[in-house]
Each structure stands twice: as structure tokens, then as C-alpha cells.
Amino acid sequence: MFEAVIFDWDGTLGDTRKAIVIAFQTTLHEINCKVSDEYIERRIGIGAADTFRDLLREANRPFNEKLIENLIERKSQFEIELTDQVKLFPGARELLEALHGKKKMALASMNNRSVIIHLLKAKGLEKCFDEILTVESISHSKPNPEIFLKAASKLKVNTEKCVVVEDSIFGVKAAKSANMGCIAVLTGVYSQLELEKEKPDLIVKTLKDNQIRSFILQ
């Protein structure tokens, strides 16, 4: 049924929540801006640029795109320094190895390329994917389906033959908008009820669930 699998990274394959929150908070501290950890956590998946823009607007702080670029660069540097804080979720490596060679695979992350490439190399996963797309690859953040549509195009697979593995409501919305299959995993900050509202084809608690392989390989 499916010819390609498109994986999200943050909260799906990589347990990056702690590192992302620390990286954001350290960056914001440098400009004397305060925000709750939950604020950041609930925006993982839409990209750092939109997150910084949103919180600066809500704080009534003036900004321009040069400042946003500088904040993203600092956040990325801090996140790379926190590589040791990032762990793969249980079952992630095994799932990738089980699918390798059987399906085309892409990584589609709203994180920055410098961070993603560094983490994939650190975890020994850089050769698992046929294509790696990051926020620099697109003009519109999730829940816009652009990143998934570009992934399908690069893989040369029709959208209906692609299945997305995601943890966020933004990612599930994007996958469904792209007319792709979607597996939602409860490893991020979103509850089962929140994810159910977006109507993924399958919801699992962890990547160790054998239903994932069965669904993809059917």
C-alpha cells in the first residue's frame, strides 16, 4: 500500500523536549524575555521562527527578521551543545532498521538543518533516510502540508502512497492535508484526545507498538 514513510524528528523519533526548552529559554534569557516551558513545548513542531515571533508579539516586544535570525542561530547553537540530553525514543532505531530497504524514507522536521544533521550523525542515523527536509526547505510551517509534499516529490512517490509518523497536532493536520496516511504517536506533549480530533489513521503509545510496522507494510 505505502511506498514511502516520512518521519518527524522532535517528539517522534528523538526525545528532544528538554533540550529544546533549555535552548529556547537560554536564548530568551539573553534578551530578558520570559515565557513558560509549556508555552515552548506546545509550539514544538511549528519551527523556531514562528515560535519566537509569537512570543515576542505576545510580550509586546518590537522585533525584525534580523533579530529572529539571530535568535534562531543562538537557539540552534545551544541545542547542538545539548546533544547529550537527546535520546532516541524506545523502538525508534529498531523501527527505522526494520523499514530500511523496504520503503523509501524521509525525515521532515521543522527544526533547523544544522541541529538535525548534527543529531542524526551523533545518533548514527544519517544513512537511514533517502531525503532530509528541514525548516530551511520550505516557506510555510506545519500545519501547512508543504514540507510533506516536498518530501513526497523528492522521493518521487505519490502523496497517497506516503505515510507520515508524527507526534504533534500540527504534523497530523499537515499529513492529512497532504492526503497522506498518518500514524500519531503519544510521545510528544499532546494527549490522545487532542490527536484523535485530527483524525490520524492510527494512534499508538510508543514506537515499539507492532501496529506501526503492520500498518506501513500492509
Name the phi and psi angles at 136, rounded to 5: -70, -15
CATH class for the domain made up of 4-16+86-217 = alpha beta
Q: What is the pLDDT of residue 1?
A: 87
Name the phi and psi angles at 102, rounded to 5: -100, -35
Check for a shared fold between 4-16+86-217 and 17-84.
no
19-70 confidence digits (pLDDT tens): 999 999 999 999 999 999 999 999 998 999 999 999 999 999 999 999 999 9
1-19 confidence digits (pLDDT tens): 899 999 999 999 999 999 9
Q: Where are the alpha helices (DSSP H) in 42-164?
A: 48-58, 65-81, 92-99, 113-122, 146-155
Q: What is the pLDDT of residue 205?
A: 98
Name the phi and psi angles at 188, rounded to 5: -95, -150
Q: What is the pLDDT of residue 15?
A: 98
Q: What is the pLDDT of residue 45?
A: 87
92-127 confidence digits (pLDDT tens): 999 999 999 999 999 999 999 999 999 999 999 999
Mean predicted lDDT score pLDDT of the chain = 97
- Domains of the chain, residue spans: 4-16+86-217, 17-84
Local confidence band at 138 (pLDDT 50, 70, 90 cut-offs): very high
C-alpha to C-alpha distance for 157 and 174, rounded to whole angstroms: 17
CB 26 within 8 A of CB 171: no
CATH of domain 17-84: 1.10.150
The pTM for the full model equals 0.95
